[in-house]
Amino acid sequence: MSESRPIRPTDVKAGQTFDLGGIVIEIVEVIPTQDILGKKQYIIGYRIREKDFVSPVGHWFVSEDDDIKRWIKETVEFYIRVRDMLRRG
């Protein structure tokens, strides 16, 4: 992931993957939608993969001007904090 250019929801496609040190975020679906005021939003489904672990599908609800890199980074950081608990269950 390049740090210079933001990744917008319109740049993300199903099947795309992002590898952060062996932890892979796989994009499962990108659903365009809108909020109650009509502003364009997206529901992005993702899955975390690491070695033999595959997570259930999670979702981000993002606006059209959000940088997906931020969501990926925060998701991986959270996964690292709870990884042991998830892998036991």
Instruction: Say if 83 falls within a structural domain.
Output: yes
Instruction: Say if 4 falls within a structural domain.
Output: no
Instruction: Say if 2 falls within a structural domain.
Output: no
Residue ranges making up the domain that contains 71: 9-88
* Averaged pLDDT, 11-38: 96
Q: What is the pLDDT of residues 56-70, one digit of tens each?
A: 999 999 999 999 999
Kindly report the CATH number assigned to the domain that includes residue 67.
2.30.30
pTM score, two decimals?
0.89
Instruction: Say if 61 falls within a structural domain.
Output: yes
Report d(CA 34, CA 40) in Å as an integer.
4
The total domain count for the chain is 1
Q: 42 in helix, strand or coil?
A: strand
Strands 40-50 and 53-54: antiparallel
Instruction: Say if 30 falls within a structural domain.
Output: yes
Instruction: Say if 57 falls within a structural domain.
Output: yes
